[in-house]
């Protein structure tokens, strides 16, 4: 049985089957021309949209369908987290190839719904269409934040310290390992594969950092750490230095990159698919920041600092000296 054996109404019913009871602020949900929602009092609203395309952002050959649904929501929740916003609702728009097995469709929805439930995000509407092309999942998320607490990219100042949540490079290593087609279950790479397939958006950390005004700028790592550092530096009109020796690479990822003949630090900063947060912290807020991060249950690692000027560099230590090189700016790849 594939998608083409079902009507749109039947597919929508399969999605609704997964949903919890609608919250009272959802005045009109799935099934009308549009969703109607009661906004939260005294909060600004935060909107993000992000699409995943088969063959571009994932590959059905090695990404199980529930992971596709999980990632489609996770990448968007990560954007909300980077603004310090509490997620509230999502709209799910899918372009479905007719030959997609219905079991895969159900699993995609399941992966999406599980993560939605975990973060108390309610699916308020969406769109289904067929496509002669690849599977595409486009998710819009809506969250809220107190107006003056929204985290942006532009508040960093020279001297601020840069911290990254969790680890970096694991997802890229996991993706590469999965691409080989060899099973990674139980291997050292299993944890990296999991980081790639089921990223955990840092929603709680983002919300708590915003509420406690513990950081001056924040961005998520969707396009890799190098790009994220450039984003903060450019928006804040600062330079930045990243210290290669401080980067928190998981040991299996480090070993994996070594075995592939890659410099682990370079591979990790340009790898992407880590849905972590990069934040700029004023030196005098260091203690408050550490306390909030600890309460959020997320480890942050200091990886460098914002500097005067506009140069964004990665610093390596060798033979007792320090060597700076431009931090490769992978966010500006050509659009192909």
| Binders of its own copies in range 232-261 (CB under 8 A) | 235
Residues 159-178 vs its own copies: string with x where CB under 8 A?
Answer: --------------------
Closest CA to 147 of 83, 231, 236, 235: 83
Q: Which residues contact 245 (CB under 8 A, 6 or more apart)?
A: 316, 317
The DSSP output letter for 322 is E
The answer to the question of residue 24 lying near its own copies (CB under 8 A) is: no
With respect to its own copies, which residue has the nearer C-beta, 184 or 229? 229
Among 66, 68, 72, 79, binds its own copies (CB under 8 A): 79
Among 15, 30, 46, 168, binds its own copies (CB under 8 A): 46
Among 14, 20, 38, 187, binds its own copies (CB under 8 A): 38
Q: Determine the straight-line distance between the first and last CA of the chain, rounded to whole angstroms.
A: 34
The residue count of the chain comes to 336
Q: Which residues contact 75 (CB under 8 A, 6 or more apart)?
A: 50, 52, 139, 199, 201, 222, 275
With respect to its own copies, which residue has the nearer C-beta, 84 or 174? 84
SS (H, E, C) 272-310: CCCCCEEEEECHHHHHHHHHHHHHHCCCEEEEEEEECCC
Residues 119-138 vs its own copies: string with x where CB under 8 A?
Answer: -----xxxxxxxxxxx-x-x
Binding range to its own copies, per CB under 8 A, among 61-69, 74-82, 193-201, 243-251: 74-82
Binding range to its own copies, per CB under 8 A, among 142-150, 251-259, 266-274, 301-309: 142-150
Closest CA to 54 of 44, 45, 64: 64
Query: Considering the complex, what minimum distance in angstroms separates the CB of residue 122 from its own copies?
Result: 12
The answer to the question of residue 156 lying near its own copies (CB under 8 A) is: no
The answer to the question of residue 179 lying near its own copies (CB under 8 A) is: no
| Binders of its own copies in range 252-311 (CB under 8 A) | none
Which string of DSSP letters, residue by residue, matches 55-116?
TTTB-TTTS-HHHHHHHHHHHHHHHHHHHTPEEEEEEEEEEE-TTSBHHHHHHHHHHHHHHH
Residues 199-218 vs its own copies: string with x where CB under 8 A?
Answer: -------------------x
Binding range to its own copies, per CB under 8 A, among 118-126, 156-164, 306-314, 320-328: 118-126
| Binders of its own copies in range 82-101 (CB under 8 A) | 82-83, 85, 89, 91, 93, 95-96, 98
- Distance, in Å, from the CA atom of 327 to the CA atom of 265, rounded to the nearest integer, reads 11
Size of the site for its own copies (CB under 8 A): 76
């Amino acid at each position: 049985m594939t998608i083409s054996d079902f009507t749109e109404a039947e597919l929508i019913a399969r999605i609704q089957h997964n949903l919890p009871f609608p919250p009272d602020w959802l005045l009109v949900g799935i099934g009308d021309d549009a969703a109607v929602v009661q906004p939260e009092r005294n909060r600004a609203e935060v909107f993000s949209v992000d699409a995943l395309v088969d063959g571009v952002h994932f590959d059905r050959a090695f990404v199980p369908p529930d992971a596709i649904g999980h990632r489609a929501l996770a990448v968007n929740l990560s954007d909300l987290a980077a603004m310090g916003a509490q997620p509230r609702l999502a709209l799910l728009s899918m372009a479905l190839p007719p030959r997609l097995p219905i079991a895969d469709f159900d699993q995609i929805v399941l992966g999406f719904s599980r993560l939605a439930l975990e973060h108390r995000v309610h699916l308020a509407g969406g769109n289904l269409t067929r496509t002669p092309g690849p599977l595409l999942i486009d998710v819009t998320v809506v969250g809220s934040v107190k107006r003056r607490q929204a985290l942006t990219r532009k508040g960093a100042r020279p001297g601020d310290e840069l911290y990254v949540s969790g680890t970096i490079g694991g997802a890229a290593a996991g993706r590469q390992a999965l691409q080989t087609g060899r099973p990674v279950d139980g291997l050292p790479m299993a944890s990296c594969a999991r980081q790639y397939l089921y990223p955990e958006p840092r929603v709680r950390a983002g919300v708590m950092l915003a509420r406690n005004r513990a950081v001056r700028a924040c961005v998520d790592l969707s396009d890799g750490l190098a790009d994220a550092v450039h984003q903060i530096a450019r928006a804040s009109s600062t330079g930045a230095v990243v210290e290669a020796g401080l980067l928190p690479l998981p040991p299996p990822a480090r070993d994996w990159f070594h075995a592939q003949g890659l410099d682990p630090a370079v591979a990790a900063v340009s790898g992407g698919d880590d849905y972590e947060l990069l934040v700029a912290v004023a030196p005098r807020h260091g203690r408050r920041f550490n306390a909030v991060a600890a309460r959020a249950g997320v480890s942050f690692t200091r990886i460098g600092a914002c500097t005067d000027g506009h140069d964004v560099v990665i610093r390596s230590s060798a033979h007792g000296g320090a060597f700076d090189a431009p931090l490769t700016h992978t966010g500006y790849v050509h659009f192909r």
